[in-house]
Amino acid sequence: MKNLISFDEASEKANLSCNELLFKALDKQLGLYHMSSKDKREALVPCIDGILHHASVGDFIHQYKPLLDQIEYVDVQIAQPLSLNERAIKELLVSSQFNEVELYRELAPEIDDVDFWKTEREVHDWEEDLPEYDIIKLEQIQICELELEKCLSVKGLPSKNASKDPSSTALKVVGLLMHHLSKSPKYASGDAPNKSQIKELLLGLAVELDVNNYGLSKVDERLLKQASDYLETQKN
């Protein structure tokens, strides 16, 4: 649990968009987790798949056989990390949210001759006044930092340290662009570039070009200062 980081933080560390991380999770390169906000017991019912009954035009009813004599109970504790299953990840890709029930389905044991699992509440969905499951949103999802580091190293992607330590060439490029911008009074502070205004410019450009602003939205001015200081050391 100590190694879990927020989805936004993982995206920034890996320099990957949310969807790129989700696709990696779908490929089983990463595990995604949701930390339970409550103590809970859930009854899971193993089911045998049936046919899609053609009830009327455009209306199909999924028929299945619930094995109610083989109910399994799972207990979840508050602050317990729960793994997301494939269905939950796909729903995040489509709508940035998924139904809480998928977290409990993932806890079902492996039993021979069982096609899928439903919760007891789902099996009795015709009954009124049954409590509804919560909707889990993307910002509530966490990633194991160690798994992320391993994934990045295997794929040869930049690690979090690489993203925090820009190369000397990158610093030189940023520094030169800053000094070019400082020729305009708006981006100058005395004889030096106005780092705060340049930061706002970068955020504005990200919006204009519809570019993911992860990293830009949280970047402080240390990088810009580092680039400016480095440029001073490179003068002939």
- 212 has a pLDDT exceeding 80: no
Q: Indicate if the pLDDT at residue 61 is higher than 50.
A: yes
Kindly state whether residues 20 and 126 are assigned to the same domain: yes
Residue-number span of the structural domain to which 120 is assigned: 4-155
- The mean per-residue pLDDT over the stretch 102-110 comes to 93
31 part of a folded domain: yes
Say yes or no: 145 and 178 in one domain: no
Same domain, 24 and 72: yes
The residue out of 136, 155, 174 marking a domain boundary is 155
Domain boundary, last residue among 129, 155, 181: 155
40 vs 104: CA distance, rounded Å: 10
pTM score, two decimals? 0.62
Say if residue 171 is in the same domain as residue 63.
Answer: no
Q: Is the pLDDT of residue 109 over 50?
A: yes
| Number of domains into which the chain is organized | 2
117/210 same-domain check: no
Higher pLDDT, 168 or 127: 127
Please, which residues have CB within 8 angstroms of residue 233's CB and are 6 or more apart in sequence?
none
